[in-house]
């Protein structure tokens, strides 16, 4: 399977990973949740234009890379919904003064830009992937979707054993969330067409590093085949909340 890092990894590095035994597939789980990281207007911009153009107004923008990934993410979400799997979204609003982001604000000369403050449209999930009633929605102030949020308790309640992870940025919030998920002993699979970054070197190297040491990076066709083979309704005893509530009243 061709991988995004094929054109940046050296023959020597590839040999080192092979001899050391890294990159062994961990495999899919039996109860996967879908996790969509920060696919909001801050990271995508409000139109499909170059990253250099979009970033003038949206400092996080990833340009066309985001708009190439959005329909693929939608495809995976649709397949998951058809099996009644839980879908979890994250976004990252902040206080107007940036206090809740802490020292993270020190790493950008544009950290005072108003686009990502709480209540701004920049924090809205793009319309093409808009959450549906009953989906879980996590607001976070740090890169990892697990840090300081209720995500872990939701996954415990769902008895999920694995995560299909999508979103942005590959080298930032996706990487941080993937490493934390693995640290909590979830199997994580990332279909590489569904993650994106503003820098392609960062994107490719992050995927390489994640695949070699922490999670499985594969392609969308592989994930779609896996989802197609799942039974429908494996979470019906705990998900969605509306179905559970309806059942309790009968």
For residue 122, the SS3 value is helix
Q: What is the CATH number of the domain that holds 63?
A: 3.40.50.850
Q: Which domain holds residue 36?
A: 29-231
In tens digits, what is the pLDDT along the chain, a chain of 250 residues? 899 999 999 999 999 999 999 999 999 999 999 999 999 999 999 999 998 888 888 888 999 999 999 999 999 999 999 999 999 999 987 767 766 666 766 556 567 776 665 667 888 999 999 999 889 999 998 999 999 999 999 999 999 999 999 999 999 999 999 999 999 999 999 999 999 999 999 999 999 999 999 999 999 999 999 999 999 999 999 987 655 555 544 4
What does the alpha-carbon distance between residue 109 and residue 158 come to, in Å, rounded to a whole number?
40
Name, in order, each residue with C-beta under 8 angstroms of 221's C-beta and a sequence gap of 6 or more. none
Total structural domains within the chain:
1
Counted residue by residue, the chain has a size of 250
Quick check: is 211 in a domain? Answer: yes
Quick check: is 88 in a domain? Answer: yes
Residue 226 corresponds to which tokens in the numbers above? 């896996």
**Which CA distances in Å does 11 have to 6, 58, 103, 237?**
10, 38, 38, 49
């Amino acid at each position: 399977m061709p991988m995004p890092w094929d054109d940046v990894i050296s023959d020597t590095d590839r040999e080192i990973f092979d001899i050391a035994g890294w990159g062994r597939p961990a495999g899919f789980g039996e109860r996967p949740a879908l996790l969509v990281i920060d696919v909001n207007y801050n990271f995508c911009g409000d139109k499909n234009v170059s990253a250099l153009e979009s970033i003038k107004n949206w400092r996080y923008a990833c340009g066309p890379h985001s708009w190439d990934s959005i329909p693929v993410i939608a495809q995976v979400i649709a397949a998951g919904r058809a099996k009644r799997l839980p879908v979890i979204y994250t976004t990252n609003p902040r206080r107007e003064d940036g206090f809740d982001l802490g020292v993270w604000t020190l790493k950008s000369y544009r950290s005072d830009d108003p686009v990502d403050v709480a209540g701004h449209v920049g924090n809205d999930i793009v319309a093409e992937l808009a959450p549906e009633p009953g989906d879980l929605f996590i607001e976070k102030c740090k890169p990892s979707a697990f840090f300081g949020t209720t995500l872990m308790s939701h996954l415990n309640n769902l008895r999920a054993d694995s995560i299909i992870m999508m979103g942005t940025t590959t080298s930032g919030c996706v990487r941080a969330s993937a490493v934390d998920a693995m640290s909590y002993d979830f199997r994580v699979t990332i279909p590489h067409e569904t993650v994106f970054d503003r820098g392609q070197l960062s994107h490719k190297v992050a995927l390489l590093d994640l695949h070699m040491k922490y999670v499985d990076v594969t392609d969308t066709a592989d994930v779609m085949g896996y989802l197609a083979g799942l039974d429908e309704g494996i979470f019906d005893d705990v998900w969605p909340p509306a179905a559970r509530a309806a059942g309790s009243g009968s």
